[in-house]
C-alpha cells in the first residue's frame, strides 16, 4: 500500500535510522550516571523491537463497513494491515513507548483509511456513524496524552481516519495574512509551502517535524515562538470540521461576539466533536532578522523575575526560556566535544573568576525576530533587564546550538528506554505569583515519589512560554525503571507531579491536552461544574459516542 503519507517508527519517536547518540558528547555519560545512577558506558542496549514478535489483535472490521469505506476512498486507501494498524494505535508518550516495546496492545484500530479530501472525509464519517462505528482522527500520532488509543473494551469497529493526504496550503490571503491549510499538513511541509511564498506560521512545537496543523488545533498546541505569534488557539482563526450532518464552517474573522465561541469548543476537542479538515491560520512575513541569544542567570528566581519583567516591557521576544540549574547542567552535558578552542570552557573560567557558582547557573534563551532596527531595540531592552537581575548575555552561539538541537532531543527517550531508564515530561501554566511555589512543590512531590518507588530519580525544569499574567513551566523527569513495573512506577511519579500542579494553582496541561493521561485531574482544574458543561457538549454533539470516545472526559 503506497499512500505517500509519512509515519514515524512504529515503536518510537521519529524517522527510521535516526536516534540520539552520546559518543560525541563527553559530558553526557557522567551526567546520566550522576542523575539516575545509570552507567551508559556499561549499560547493555536493548535490541530494536521486532515487529514479528508483536501480537496484534486481529481486525474486527465489519465487512459491509469496509466496503462502504472503499466505495468512498478506493481500495488503495483503506487497509487492515497489521503494521499500519499498530502505527495508528498509540501516540508517543512514555506509557505508549513502554507498551509498544512490551507487546501490550489490547486494542488496535480495525481499519485505517486515508481520505483524499473533505468530501471523502464526509463520506467516511457518514458511513461510520450509519454503521455505529468509532472514528479516531489521526494527524501525526505525536500526542503524549493518550488521545488516540481505542478503548480496550470497544466492541464496535474502530476506524483510524488518517488526514495525511490532506497536506496542502490551499491559498494565502496576502492582504490579511491568513493561510488556508489542509488539516493533515505536517509542520515542515506546510512551513516550506509558506516560506516559498515569503510567509511563516510562527508555530514550532518541539514535535513540529511529525505533527499536523489539525492535531495542533485538536490538542491546543503551543510552539516555542508563542510569545510573539501566540498559541495555536490564537493562530487558528478559521476552521472546517466535518460532522455527521455536514460541515461546521468557522470563518476567519479577527474577533467575534457571537455567543460562546464554537471555534474555542473545537480547539482542544481531540477528535470528540468531528474531523477537522481545514484550518485558516494567521501567517507572518518571514522576518529580516531571526536570532536566538543565550543568557545566564545566577539563580532560578533571578531568571524568572527577568522573564516576568521582559513580559511587561516594550520588548516582545519570540522565545523566552530559562532552565533551572539542573536542566542547564543537562544542556551543558549534551554539548559536543571540541578540539582546540572551547568557548564553553573559557566562559566557565571567566564566571568562576567572577564568583559565580558554576553548579547553579541558569541558562536562558531569548529569541528576536523582525527588522534589524526592531531586533536591536528589543535586544537593548532585554540586555538592560538581564543585567538588572544579575544575568549575563553570552551571544548567539548557544542560541544557534539550541535551535539546531531542539528537534533531536525527542529521540532521547528511546535512547534511555533502550538502556533501562524511563523519561517523560509534564507541563503546566500558572500566574507569575505562583511559579516559584509550583517549581518547589513539583520537585518535592517528585522526590517523594522516587522515595516511594525506591529508585533515585531526576527532575529538571524550564520556563517555556511567557504571558501577561504568568508562564508555562515544563518539567522533565527520569529514573531507572524496574522492567515489568515501569508503568506502575511512572504512574507514581506522574501522579505526584500532576497533583502538585493543581494543588498549587497550575493547570494540568498548558499544551499537551487531556486525552486519558490527564483526565483524572480535569475536575480539580476546571471544577466539577466545568466538567458537567463539557459533558453536556459531548453528549449532545455525539450521543452514540462515535467520535474518539472517553478522551478528555468519560461520561
Ligand X SMILES: Cc1cc2nc3c(=O)[nH]c(=O)nc-3n(C[C@H](O)[C@H](O)[C@H](O)COP(=O)(O)OP(=O)(O)OC[C@H]3O[C@@H](n4cnc5c(N)ncnc54)[C@H](O)[C@@H]3O)c2cc1C
Residue 547 DSSP one-character state: B
Q: Which stretch binds ligand X (CB under 6 A): 15-23, 67-75, 268-276, 492-500?
A: 268-276
Q: CB nearer to ligand X: give 206 or 309.
A: 206
Longest dimension (CA), the chain: 76
Q: Which stretch binds ligand X (CB under 6 A): 26-34, 38-46, 219-227, 492-500?
A: 219-227
Rounded-to-integer distance, Cα 442 and Cα 428, Å: 11
CB of 518 to ligand X, least distance (A): 12
Exposed, middle or buried, 324 (CB in 10 Å: 0-12/13-18/19+)? Answer: buried
548 binds ligand X (CB under 6 A): yes
Exposed, middle or buried, 299 (CB in 10 Å: 0-12/13-18/19+)? Answer: middle
Per-residue contact track with ligand X, 31 to 70, x per CB under 6 A? ----------------------------------------
Question: What would the grid cell of residue 445 be?
Answer: 512531590
Q: Yes or no: say if 225 and 204 are a contact pair by the CB < 8 Å rule.
A: yes
91 binds ligand X (CB under 6 A): yes
Separate counts of helices (H) and strands (E) for the chain: 20, 18
Across 382-411, b (16+ Cβ under 10 Å) vs e yields bbebbeebebbbbeeebbebbbeebbbbbb
Q: Which stretch binds ligand X (CB under 6 A): 139-147, 301-309, 341-349, 389-397?
A: 139-147
Sign of CA dihedral 480, 486, 491, 494: positive
CB of 17 to ligand X, least distance (A): 18
248 binds ligand X (CB under 6 A): no
Q: CB nearer to ligand X: give 137 or 399.
A: 137
270 binds ligand X (CB under 6 A): yes
Rounded-to-integer distance, Cα 146 and Cα 60, Å: 22
Considering only residues 333-362, where is the footprint of ligand X by CB under 6 A?
A: none
294 binds ligand X (CB under 6 A): no
8 binds ligand X (CB under 6 A): no
Interhelix angle 372-388/300-312, nearest 10 degrees:
140
Question: Closest Cα to residue 323, out of 333, 312, 331, 334?
Answer: 331
Per-residue contact track with ligand X, 155 to 194, x per CB under 6 A? --------x-------------------x-----------
Question: Of 465, 494, 516, 551, which one interacts with ligand X (CB under 6 A)?
Answer: 551
Q: Which stretch binds ligand X (CB under 6 A): 74-82, 149-157, 203-211, 430-438?
A: 203-211
CB of 313 to ligand X, least distance (A): 25
Q: CB nearer to ligand X: give 92 or 101.
A: 92
138 binds ligand X (CB under 6 A): yes
CB of 346 to ligand X, least distance (A): 32
Rounded-to-integer distance, Cα 405 and Cα 413, Å: 15
Q: CB nearer to ligand X: give 89 or 219.
A: 219
Instruction: Determine the distance from the C-alpha atom of residue 165 to the mean position of all C-alpha atoms in its chain, rounded to a whole number.
Output: 22
Q: Yes or no: say if 446 and 501 are a contact pair by the CB < 8 Å rule.
A: no
271 binds ligand X (CB under 6 A): yes
Which residues form the catalytic set?
A: 474
Question: Of 49, 109, 137, 549, which one interacts with ligand X (CB under 6 A)?
Answer: 137
Question: What would the grid cell of residue 286 be?
Answer: 518571514
Q: Which stretch binds ligand X (CB under 6 A): 300-308, 322-330, 364-372, 507-515?
A: 507-515
Q: Which stretch binds ligand X (CB under 6 A): 16-24, 135-143, 189-197, 524-532?
A: 135-143
Exposed, middle or buried, 520 (CB in 10 Å: 0-12/13-18/19+)? Answer: middle
143 binds ligand X (CB under 6 A): yes
DSSP calls for 207-250: TGGG-BHHHHHHHT---TTHHHH--HHHHEEEEEEEETTEEEEE
Which residue's Cβ lies closest to ligand X?
215
* Binding footprint of ligand X on the chain (CB under 6 A): 13, 91-92, 136-144, 147-148, 163, 183, 205-207, 211-212, 214-216, 218-219, 221-222, 270-271, 275-276, 410, 511-513, 548, 551
Amino acid at each position: 500500500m503506497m499512500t505517500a503519507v509519512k509515519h514515524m517508527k512504529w515503536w518510537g519517536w521519529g524517522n527510521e535510522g535516526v536516534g540520539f547518540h552520546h559518543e560525541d558528547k563527553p559530558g553526557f555519560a557522567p551526567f546520566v550516571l550522576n542523575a539516575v545512577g545509570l552507567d551508559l558506558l556499561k549499560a547493555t542496549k536493548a535490541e530494536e523491537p521486532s515487529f514479528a514478535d508483536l501480537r496484534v489483535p486481529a481486525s474486527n472490521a465489519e465487512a459491509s463497513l469496509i466496503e462502504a469505506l472503499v466505495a468512498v476512498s478506493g481500495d488503495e486507501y483503506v487497509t487492515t494491515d497489521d503494521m499500519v494498524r499498530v502505527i495508528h494505535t498509540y501516540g508517543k508518550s512514555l506509557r505508549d513507548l513502554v507498551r509498544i516495546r512490551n507487546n501490550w496492545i489490547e486494542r488496535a484500530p480495525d481499519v485505517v483509511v486515508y481520505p483524499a479530501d473533505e468530501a471523502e472525509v464526509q463520506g467516511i464519517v457518514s458511513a461510520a456513524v450509519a454503521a455505529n462505528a468509532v472514528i479516531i482522527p489521526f494527524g501525526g500520532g505525536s500526542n503524549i496524552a493518550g488521545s488516540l488509543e481505542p478503548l480496550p473494551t470497544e466492541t464496535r469497529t474502530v476506524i483510524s481516519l488518517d488526514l495525511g493526504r490532506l497536506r496542502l496550503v490551499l491559498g494565502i490571503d496576502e492582504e490579511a495574512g491568513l493561510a488556508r491549510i489542509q488539516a493533515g499538513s505536517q509542520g515542515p511541509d506546510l512551513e516550506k509551502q509558506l516560506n516559498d511564498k515569503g510567509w511563516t506560521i510562527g508555530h514550532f512545537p518541539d514535535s513540529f517535524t511529525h505533527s499536523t496543523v489539525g492535531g495542533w488545533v485538536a490538542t491546543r498546541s503551543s510552539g516555542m515562538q508563542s510569545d510573539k505569534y501566540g498559541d495555536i488557539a490564537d493562530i487558528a482563526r478559521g476552521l472546517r470540521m466535518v460532522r455527521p450532518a455536514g460541515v461546521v464552517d468557522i470563518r476567519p474573522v479577527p474577533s467575534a461576539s457571537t455567543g460562546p465561541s464554537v471555534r474555542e469548543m473545537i480547539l482542544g476537542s481531540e477528535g470528540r466533536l468531528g474531523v477537522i479538515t481545514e484550518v485558516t491560520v494567521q501567517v507572518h512575513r518571514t522576518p529580516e532578522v531571526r536570532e536566538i541569544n543565550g543568557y545566564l542567570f545566577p539563580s532560578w528566581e533571578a531568571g524568572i523575575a527577568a522573564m516576568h519583567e521582559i513580559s511587561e516591557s516594550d520588548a516582545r521576544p519570540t522565545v523566552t526560556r530559562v532552565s533551572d540549574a539542573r536542566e542547564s547542567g543537562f544542556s551543558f552535558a549534551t554539548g559536543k566535544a571540541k578540539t582546540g578552542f572551547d568557548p564553553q570552557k573559557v566562559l566557565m573560567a571567566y564566571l568562576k573568576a567572577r564568583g559565580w557558582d558554576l553548579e547553579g547557573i541558569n541558562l536562558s534563551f531569548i529569541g528576536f525576530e523582525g527588522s534589524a532596527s526592531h531586533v536591536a531595540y528589543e535586544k537593548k531592552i532585554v540586555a538592560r533587564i538581564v543585567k538588572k537581575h544579575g544575568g549575563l548575555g553570552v551571544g548567539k552561539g548557544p542560541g544557534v546550538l539550541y535551535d539546531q538541537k531542539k528537534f533531536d532531543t525527542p529521540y532521547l527517550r528511546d535512547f534511555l528506554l533502550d538502556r533501562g531508564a524511563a523519561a517523560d515530561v509534564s507541563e503546566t501554566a500558572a500566574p507569575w505569583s505562583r511559579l516559584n511555589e509550583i517549581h518547589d512543590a513539583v520537585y518535592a512531590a517528585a522526590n517523594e515519589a522516587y522515595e516511594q518507588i525506591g529508585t533515585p530519580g531526576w527532575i529538571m525544569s524550564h520556563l517555556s512560554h511567557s504571558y501577561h499574567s504568568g508562564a508555562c513551566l515544563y518539567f522533565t523527569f527520569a529514573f531507572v525503571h524496574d522492567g515489568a513495573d515501569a508503568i506502575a512506577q511512572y504512574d507514581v511519579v506522574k501522579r505526584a507531579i500532576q497533583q502538585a500542579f493543581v494543588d498549587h494553582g497550575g493547570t494540568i496541561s498548558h499544551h499537551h491536552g487531556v486525552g486519558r493521561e490527564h483526565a483524572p485531574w480535569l475536575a480539580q482544574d476546571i471544577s466539577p461544574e466545568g466538567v458537567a458543561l463539557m459533558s453536556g457538549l459531548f453528549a449532545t454533539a455525539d450521543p452514540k459516542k462515535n467520535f474518539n470516545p472517553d478522551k478528555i472526559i468519560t461520561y
